[in-house]
Amino acid sequence: MIRLFKPEDAKKASNLIARALREVNAKDYDEEYIEADVRALSSDNLIKRAENNHLYICEREEKIVGIGGIGAYWFKEDESRLMNIFVLPDYLGQGIGTEIVKAIEQDIYFTRAKRIEVPSSITAAGFYLKLGYQFKNGIKEIDKDRLYRLEKFNE
């Protein structure tokens, strides 16, 4: 089941993100980088992000197993940004990330946008490429933030 984030989800969602970062993304990033992301995606910060963005929760048997979000890109109505797509490591490879992105792609932030950008981790780039996102401006190198910039256009 995919549903909108509620403030009471924040602690469990933040713990899921921390676990995913530490167990999955750790193959591509050092501990300092991972822990900075863990702090940036704390429960308080998720609640704040949900004020101006739409965050989605995936539940299986009443357990939060995935989270993802979308919001306006620099407050523009015709551009949006995917963010925070994480799946609990025990549930990777079961299509949960794809389910979350499909739900997000029905969201008003996605449907009204002409362009959707994804600041993708090294770890997740292949996932987004499989879903039709492409390297922004054809640049296949990570940027100064150690992320790939991917994008998709709506017709």
In three-state secondary structure terms, 64 is strand
pLDDT value for 152: 97
What is the Cα–Cα distance from 56 to 63, expressed in whole angstroms? 14
In three-state secondary structure terms, 12 is helix
Q: How confident is residue 151, by pLDDT bands cut at 50, 70 and 90?
A: very high
Q: With a cut of 80, say whether residue 91 has pLDDT above it.
A: yes
pLDDT value for 103: 97
Strand ranges (E), 7-120: 54-60, 63-72, 79-87, 115-120
What is the Cα–Cα distance from 81 to 118, expressed in whole angstroms? 6
Mean pLDDT of 123-147: 97
Taken in order 46, 97, 73, 129, the sign of the CA dihedral is positive
Q: With a cut of 90, say whether residue 84 has pLDDT above it.
A: no
Each residue of 49-80: pLDDT tens digit? 999 999 999 999 999 999 999 999 998 999 99
Q: With a cut of 80, say whether residue 155 has pLDDT above it.
A: no
Q: What's the fold here for domain 2-114?
A: Aminopeptidase (3.40.630)
What is the Cα–Cα distance from 39 to 114, expressed in whole angstroms? 32
Q: With a cut of 80, say whether residue 115 has pLDDT above it.
A: yes
pLDDT value for 80: 97
Q: What is the pTM of this model?
A: 0.94
Average pLDDT across the chain, whole number? 96
Q: How confident is residue 130, by pLDDT bands cut at 50, 70 and 90?
A: very high
What is the Cα–Cα distance from 127 to 117, expressed in whole angstroms? 14
